[in-house]
């Protein structure tokens, strides 16, 4: 599976309660984190990006922050508002997978994960096309143990997502237990750094200082 066949997804519709401000707009290396992530995805060879933005208003704000990034893409960056407001990351994943221009896999990152690992992305893709992935039906998630994001999700996961949202079952790990999955072990230091999470002011300040 080639990188350009994958849709990049950034989950940015959360309330950022612990941070106290929108995590997607935190400055990292002189630019908003959401732009930092989008540029990182483009550097992987991804050519389509969907931002799960929570609300249409927030999508317009993010669109202003990402102006110019659609140049060179096969299609413009899309913004997907939640169809199940207030239902957390599963609502964002549902919105993004529903907005994909076609079926196939999405490379999903949360907006507070500032590091994009090219090595891990490559191994996730290889797992789909390798002999361990010759399964029928198609694997719905390719991920590392106990890490729901920085992972691949197939559009067919919508079939499991939607009924869970309808009954307000919002447990991410429970969803993963229900999907057909391939688990990929973390093998390198730069892959482990992909799971740095900036969900508190203290963690953000530490990371921002290192990035200066």
Count of structural domains within the chain: 1
Report DSSP letters for the chain, one per residue: --GGGSEEEEE--S--TTTSS-GGG-EETTEEHHHHHHHHHHHTT--EEEEEEESHHHHHHHHHHTTTTTTTSSS--EEEE-SSTT-HHHHHHHHHHHH-SSSSEEEEEETT-----HHHHHHHHHHHHSGGG--SS--SEEE-TT--SSEEEEGGGHHHHHHHHHTT---HHHHHHHS-EEE----SHHHHGGG----SHHHHHHHHHHH-
Tell me: is residue 112 an annotated ligand-binding position.
Answer: yes
Tell me: is residue 72 an annotated ligand-binding position.
Answer: no
Tell me: is residue 169 an annotated ligand-binding position.
Answer: no
Tell me: is residue 11 an annotated ligand-binding position.
Answer: yes
Is residue 59 predicted with pLDDT exceeding 80? Answer: yes
pLDDT value of residue 163: 95
pTM of the predicted structure, to 2 decimals: 0.91
Q: What is the mean pLDDT of residues 80-97?
A: 94
pLDDT value of residue 139: 87
Q: What percent of the chain has pLDDT over 70?
A: 90
Is residue 171 predicted with pLDDT exceeding 80? Answer: yes
Domain encompassing residue 68: 3-211
Using one digit for the tens of pLDDT, what is the confidence trace for 173-211? Answer: 999 999 999 998 887 776 888 888 888 888 888 888 876
CATH of the domain at 192: 3.90.550.10
């Amino acid at each position: 599976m080639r990188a350009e066949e994958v849709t990049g997804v950034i989950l940015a519709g959360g309330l950022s309660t612990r941070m106290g401000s929108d995590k997607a707009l935190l400055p990292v290396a002189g630019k908003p984190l959401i732009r930092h992530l989008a540029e990182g995805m483009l550097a992987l060879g991804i050519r389509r990006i969907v931002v799960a933005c929570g609300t249409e208003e927030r999508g317009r704000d993010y669109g202003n922050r990402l102006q110019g990034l659609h140049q060179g893409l096969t299609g413009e960056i899309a913004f997907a508002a939640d169809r199940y407001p207030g239902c957390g990351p599963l609502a964002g994943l549902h919105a993004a997978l529903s907005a994909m221009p076609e079926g196939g896999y999405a490379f999903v990152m949360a907006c507070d994960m500032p590091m994009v690992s090219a090595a891990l992305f490559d191994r996730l893709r290889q797992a789909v096309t390798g002999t361990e992935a010759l399964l029928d039906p198609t694997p719905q998630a390719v991920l590392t143990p106990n890490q729901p994001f920085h992972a691949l999700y197939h559009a067919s996961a919508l079939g499991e997502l939607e009924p869970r949202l309808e009954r307000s079952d919002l447990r991410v790990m429970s969803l993963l237990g229900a999907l057909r999955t391939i688990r990929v072990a973390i093998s390198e230091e730069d892959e482990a750094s992909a799971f740095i999470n900036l969900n508190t002011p203290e963690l953000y300040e530490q990371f921002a200082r290192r990035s200066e």
